[in-house]
Chains A and B, each alone.
Chain A
Amino acid sequence: MALPLHASAAERVWYYALRLIAALVLFYLIVPILIITPLSFNSEPYFSYPMPGLSLRWYEDFFFNERWQAALHNSVIVAVSTTCVATTLGTVAALGLSRPNFPARGLVMSFLIAPMIVPLIISAVGMYFFYTDIGLANTLSGMVLAHTALATPFVVITVTATLTGFDHTLTRAAQSLGANLVTTFFRVQMPLILPGIISGGLFAFVTSFDEVVVALFISSAETRTLPKQMFSGIREMISPTITAAATLLVLFSTVLLTTIELLRRRNERMRGIRAS
């Protein structure tokens, strides 16, 4: 969109104004995330520049303090278990949903996606009541159950998206050649939709690993997760260890989600379609 030579003065102003506005908005979007990273290397417990010196003491605190390590440990256990359960359930459901002639697909889909739409606080309160009744509150299994409910919509959406435009004659061909349903899935369908399954799984992992509201309600001091530890850290006494934890989380989710993006592009390229 280069400025044409015959542009009027007003158009010129608009041309530069638009770029200025866009630059300011981009600045607003990216700077808060970039600025927190250097602060985590501050040698003093302050949150302002210029920094008196550099140190790794907040990272040391993060990696060697028992509170942070216990929280990290719980988070990893919960997120990995959630990913396994959510990916399996979500993928199987997406396979069913994308069959032609699935009855009331829109309705069922809205139902399965609901945990993503309903405000977290509502899910959290309900889970607090219900999981306390059935004895799952304050347990890691309860956390996995809750996080799986919140994470499966992401798997369902990604895998369903990968399955649109899936050539069903391939499965029919496999079946006509004598493969049963399970073999057809593992040998024909899965290799083709694997990028979708992996991105869904990564989304599930990130959802669980970042989730704090439900964790605040249904986890105890022993089963607290990393985000819960961060949240109470900010509320009670803000220590720069939180910036170290935040930096690590930014790094971690950027790596994971770059992987998702690369997988998505590869999937589009391989199948020669442009998913809109």
Chain B
Amino acid sequence: MTASAVPAIVRAADGVPLKTKLRSVERARQMRAVLLVLPLFVFITVSFVAPILVTLRNAVYDPKFSQVMPLTTAAIKDWKGDALPDEAIFAALAADLRQTQKDKTTAFVGKRLNYEISGIRSKVIATGREIGKLQSDPDRQAILAMDPVWGEISTWAAIRNASATVTSFYVAAALDLRWTPDGNLINTPPEMSIYRDVLVRTMGISLAVTVVTLLLGFPLAYLLAMLPPRTGNVLMILVLIPFWTSLLVRTTAWFVLLQDNGMVNDALQALHIVDHPLRLIFSRTGTIVAMTHIQLPFTLLPIYSVMKTISPSYVRAARSLGAGPFYAFWRVYFPQTMPGVAAGCLLTFILCLGYYITPALVGGPADQMVSNLVEVAINRENNWGKASALATILLVATLILYFVYNRLVGIEKLKLG
């Protein structure tokens, strides 16, 4: 056996093995690519991800009560919850409420406790006012005399819950759940449960819109894909113009059309389909009609692009083997459109979950979706914890579906018309 004349390692001119050199060049290239993406990555992190993280934090972190009521928060930590608190805790409450009278934050304390026990707000404010009038802090007996609510264990349990800075209260409440004083998770009483209804309604409306867009979009996509390209492309413009028109403008159009004396009702009456104007605006029907109009192109376009790639030879082969036209369509053509159907429907469903504008303008009070509750919690109730908890639930649902979409379709395939 003779030793090979070829050197074991190929080296570059400067003596570094070629393999190492190649690897370092590759790494430098990769670094450069990463550096190009870095600015946008940082930008998105600051302008978009940070806000989302703040929302997630606000859903479980609420220090305001403990800041306004510091003495009570400290004193109630050791309270067992099996009997009324002792003198020390009552004294802390009195001192804190006296301070809130000076800072004008008693209303906040009442509001926060009201999330746990409805109707307690006015009692807290009244007690606060009485304590503020007194020369010195009242003792336990005096506070108990001010309002019987202070003699109930549930009140103190609510104070203990509210004083926790890290709390699952908001997320639980957004799912119509609450903690009992002894630490069990129970359903909120039916007359106070609204959130599960809204979550189910959001899913229901999204599902209905998805199904209707599929039923309307599939035949149209099929025809567009079958027609000669010239005719197909011209008709496609009629799909793309609405797709390109802003959501707000289209919602405005439906708002105008669906009025009691609007054009849809005029047309229905002129055709003698109905005698009286139908209630279309601020109704579920109106909401679904408008949302379907907006989402239809999102469902249709992925189906259309898949249909374009299906070779007509398959159906022809099926026909020549004796399949009837409908059998050939159903067993040979339709299964091949499934990737497009899945992509379009999933996209529409994901987008529907987050609808805000259309239900807000065209829907009635019973058609409001999760997004609308979030808006009300922020702008009208000023309840950041609730808004964040609802947003978190919506976010989790969306991200799960986004993950499925990414697995099934691939995010890179997302097209913009």
Chain A residues in the interface with B (C-beta under 8 A): 1, 8, 10-11, 14, 18-19, 21-22, 25-26, 28-30, 32-33, 35-36, 39, 47-49, 89-90, 92-93, 95-97, 99, 101-103, 106, 108-115, 117-123, 125-131, 133, 145-146, 148-149, 152, 154, 156-158, 160, 203, 206, 210, 212-213, 216-217, 227, 230-231, 234-235, 238, 242-243, 246, 249-250, 253-254, 257, 261, 276
Contact = CB atoms under 8 A, between A and B. Distances in A.
B33 A99 contact: yes
Contacts of A148: 43, 47
Given A29-B239, A122-B354, A249-B246, A234 B37 contact: no
A14 B108 CA distance: 66
Interface in B266-313: 266, 293, 296-297, 305, 309
A122 B263 contact: no
Contact of A29 (B223, B238, B350): B238
A117 B29 contact: no
Contacts of A250: 245, 249
B120 interface: no
Interface in B32-57: 32-41, 43-44, 47-55
Interface centre among B29, B53, B245 (most CB of A within 10 A): B245
Contact of B48 (A8, A149, A203, A227): A149
Given A129-B54, A210-B248, A246-B252, 8 more contacts: A33-B250, A35-B253, A36-B256, A97-B36, A152-B40, A160-B412, A231-B248, A257-B244
A77 to B, nearest CB: 18
Given A119-B354, A126-B55, A254 B244 contact: yes
A121 B44 contact: no
A113 B33 contact: no
B261 A48 contact: yes
Given A1-B226, A103-B30, A119 B246 contact: no
Interface stretch (B5-13, B85-93, B122-130, B213-221): B213-221
Given A26-B220, A96-B33, A96-B35, A120 B356 contact: yes
B371 interface: yes
Interface stretch (B14-22, B158-166, B388-396): B388-396
B37 A21 contact: no
B325 A227 contact: no
The 7 closest A-B pairs by CB, nearest first: A119-B354, A96-B36, A126-B51, A210-B246, A93-B40, A99-B33, A130-B51
A149 B44 contact: yes
Interface string B249-262: 11011111101011
Contacts of A35: 253, 256-257, 263
Contact of B252 (A36, A90, A118, A146): A36
Contacts of A128: 51, 378
A92 B37 CA distance: 7
Contact of A36 (B50, B224, B253): B253
Per DSSP, chain B at the interface is helix
B37 A238 contact: no
A89 B38 CA distance: 9
Contacts of B255: 234, 238
A128 B387 CA distance: 11
A113 B37 CA distance: 13
Nearest to B370: A121
Contacts of B54: 126, 129-130, 133
A32 B416 contact: no
B348 interface: no
A234 B252 CA distance: 8
A216 B357 CA distance: 11
A21 B219 contact: yes
A149 B224 CA distance: 35
A123 B52 contact: yes
B58 interface: yes
A93 B248 contact: no
> Which of under 10, 10 to 19, 20 to 34, or 35 or more describes the interface residues of B?
35 or more
B81 to A, nearest CB: 33
23 contacts: A19-B223, A21-B216, A26-B239, A30-B241, A33-B249, A35-B256, A48-B259, A90-B40, A96-B38, A99-B32, A101-B26, A102-B34, A113-B414, A117-B350, A119-B356, A119-B395, A121-B394, A122-B374, A123-B52, A125-B387, A126-B391, A234-B252, A249-B249
Contact of B44 (A22, A47, A115, A160): A115
Contact of B222 (A10, A18, A254): A18
B354 A121 contact: yes
A254 B250 CA distance: 13
Contacts of B245: 33, 249-250, 253-254
A118 B47 CA distance: 14
A102 B50 CA distance: 25
A25 B40 contact: no
B62 to A, nearest CB: 13
Given A33-B242, A33-B250, A121-B356, A110 B411 contact: yes
B24 interface: no
Contacts of B261: 47-48
A127 B51 CA distance: 5
Contacts of B414: 113, 157
B207 interface: no
A246 B361 CA distance: 15
A212 B223 contact: no
A119 B371 contact: yes
A248 to B, nearest CB: 10
Interface string B353-390: 11011001100000000010011001000001001100
Given A103-B30, A123-B52, A154-B416, A112 B242 contact: no
Interface string B301-337: 0000100010000000000000001100000000000
A269 to B, nearest CB: 15
Interface centre among B37, B44, B262, B406 (most CB of A within 10 A): B37
B195 interface: no
A28 B293 contact: yes
A25 B227 CA distance: 16
A73 B281 CA distance: 32
Contacts of A26: 220, 235, 238-239
Nearest to B51: A126
